[in-house]
Structure 1
Amino acid sequence: MDKKRHQALNFQSMVVASKNSETKAMEAFAKLLPLLDTFEPLVLHISEYSHLLGVAEPDLSAIYYTLRPAFESMDEQVQVLTWEDPLWPKQTKGFAYCPRFLYVLGDLSLLAKPSLSIIGTRSPSLEGLSSAALTAQAIGSKGYGITSGLARGIDGVAHKTALASGYPTLAVIGTPIGSCYPPEHKELQQEIARKGAVVSRFAPSENTQKWFFLLRNRLMSALSLASVVIEDRDGGGAVRQASFALEQKKYLFLYQGSLDNQAILWPREFAGKPRVFIVKKAPDIPRLLAKALEMKASVGKTSCEKEEKPLQLDLFSL
């Protein structure tokens, strides 16, 4: 294994030893960095790791050797990133649940490229499918990357539209980098890895859990300038990402059709909030995003929220 994979293995061993507490592992890892070479095998410094974690040396050693085969068998093309890397996506730093390592297949530069997340239900209407494709076209044609989560439905359409049109696309997945969910998107995931990038925050030794997909959505939002929710049900994953986007001070775009749908409540809970824009058609999104970013740059962060709200009123005159 190369040194970055060994460092990632060491960290993941710390996470498991900390009863899957990334926070505790990160705190201990930060203390170790100035004390020893974290690129070397953990077992060479077992006493230091054991002392900081409060875990018996034999137990920590057993964890390390249990996890090691998954890292050794990871695809050679996988690139491991950590906070100290110059290619680490700086826009993710400081947000809740920011991972310590990322596992990437494909073009690393896409992590830093200005992009928008296109997200929505796994069971979209025909109108939703059309809207997802039009949204991807509108965003990609203005030079933005198209980010999504490789799920069935809206996500799949966003990725496929980007690939068909030659636009850069980034798949943020809710599984380790060597796995695929849903299974029928395996070829799509492989194509994105060749022509765009696939990124995971989960170590290769992890067993995929349902809650991984919410962490995936947090990361997807953090990587993007804005999230566009095409369609979703109340409480759906895309709606949760909408909340994460506002928590992270990102922009959020919703379609007027969602707001008019009386069968769901979530669009009306977001409408009217700062940085939330209700649009009628796909080309409105890059136009309004450019306007919002220009205003943010000119007025500064402190008054940004106060100044953004009038932009929402502009949407209803289109």
Structure 2
Amino acid sequence: MAPVSNDPQSLTGATNYFTILGVHQWAWKKGHEAFEKAKQHWPITTPWIDYADEVSLVLGIDATTWRKMYDQVEHGFKILPPDTYVIQRGQSLYPRLLQTLPDAPEFLFMRGQVWLAQQPIISVVGTRQPSDDGIRKAQALATLLGQYHMVIASGLARGIDRAAHEAALDNQTPTIAVIGTPVTKTYPKEHQRLQSMIADRGLIISPFHPAAPIHRWNFPKRNAVMSGISLETVVVEARETSGALIQTDYALRQGRLVFVPQSAVENTALQWPRRYVNEKGAQSFRRIDELMRGLNNLRVLPIQQKESDEGTTIY
């Protein structure tokens, strides 16, 4: 594959964009609307710091605040790890599935093997406090999906996410971590080594600029990106209030497949699995081949049935 480099004009556009987000307290909807308004006045590929006074008038912001934020955003790009690429929506390396969504991020920070975002991806998600059985099932699922040449995506959180990432790495299966922080930071901190390993052998994706603060509402945004790049989201194990269900909701709204373990559907102590299967359009499964049939039904890629795994019951 040809070497990847950051396009200077794209970086200029990204600096303009994230400066606007920053002066709007990193509020995505409000900031994006202001960005679209500003684009009508100045080319995105020119530094808008040159028009600070005009920008302040058009957008109703303080010129000094604009200049200060522009400097912070510029500095943030300078501290990015050298293998990080800033990919704008519409560019060839932007994840194709995500690009089809109307609310896809304008820019993504991608660190590592950027070509992985164009491969068939399945998200494996679940609770941060799994049972031992849940961890084993996440590991088994990631291992088997790798044998079908799927890329495993998860969110670098504790619990199921970590189990899925580590199983993928152990089996030389490509894995993508979609994170709720900038690529320059790690959450939780004890996953710093894991994040570095994924950057070396897989891919880190974040919609967040290094100058952006870390808030709890970053993580639903992360979930929307993760489900958006994925053909399917598989919930391994989750409680009624699990954050993994946020991604499940996003995936269903985005028209993606969602799979729930049949064992969870049959668990009378849980209500969410039956609600998602009976009312929201999720599907239940026991075996790996049922997940693969879902992809065949989408007609996105032909999946060769593996006789050795066809009858493997995971759930």
TM over 0.5: yes
Q: 1:94 to 1:52 in 2, by over 3 A?
A: farther
> Alignment partner for residue 268 of structure 1, among 255, 261, 274?
274
Gaps of 5+ in 2: 1-6, 303-314
Corresponding residue of 1:122:
128
Partners of 1:207 and 1:264 lie apart in 2 by: 35
- Deviation for aligned residue 1:186: 0.9
Q: Which aligned pairs between 1:52-91 and structure 2 lie closer than 5 A?
A: 52-91=58-97
Q: CA RMSD in A?
A: 2.4
**With structure 1 as the length reference, what TM-score do the two structures score?**
0.86
Judge which range, 56-65 or 199-208, deviates more. 56-65
- Deviation for aligned residue 1:281: 2.7
Determine what percentage of the aligned residue pairs are the same residue: 31
Q: Which aligned pairs between 1:159-174 and structure 2 lie closer than 5 A?
A: 159-174=165-180
Q: Which aligned pairs between 1:125-144 and structure 2 lie closer than 5 A?
A: 125-144=131-150
> Alignment partner for residue 112 of structure 1, among 95, 108, 118?
118
Corresponding residue of 2:51:
45
Partners of 1:141 and 1:48 lie apart in 2 by: 56
1:6 aligns to 2:12 (yes or no): yes
Partners of 1:193 and 1:96 lie apart in 2 by: 28
**With structure 2 as the length reference, what TM-score do the two structures score?**
0.87
Partners of 2:183 and 2:253 lie apart in 1 by: 27
- Deviation for aligned residue 1:35: 4.7
Gaps of 5+ in 1: 298-317
Partners of 2:10 and 2:76 lie apart in 1 by: 14
Partners of 1:296 and 1:249 lie apart in 2 by: 17
Structure 1 residues 264-289: Cα deviation after superposition (integer angstroms, max 9, x where no partner): 21101111357522111334322x22
- Deviation for aligned residue 1:99: 1.3
Structure 1 residues 59-112: Cα deviation after superposition (integer angstroms, max 9, x where no partner): 211222244322222222210011131211131135364211100101111112
Corresponding residue of 2:236:
230
Q: Is the 8 A contact 1:135 1:283 kept in 2?
A: no
- Deviation for aligned residue 1:161: 1.2
Judge which range, 138-147 or 56-65, deviates more. 56-65
Judge which range, 215-224 or 93-102, deviates more. 93-102
The letter for the 2-side match of 1:294 is: R
Q: 1:275 to 1:145 in 2, by over 3 A?
A: farther
Partners of 1:295 and 1:86 lie apart in 2 by: 19
Q: Is the 8 A contact 1:17 1:53 kept in 2?
A: no
Q: Which aligned pairs between 1:101-250 and structure 2 lie closer than 5 A?
A: 101-250=107-256
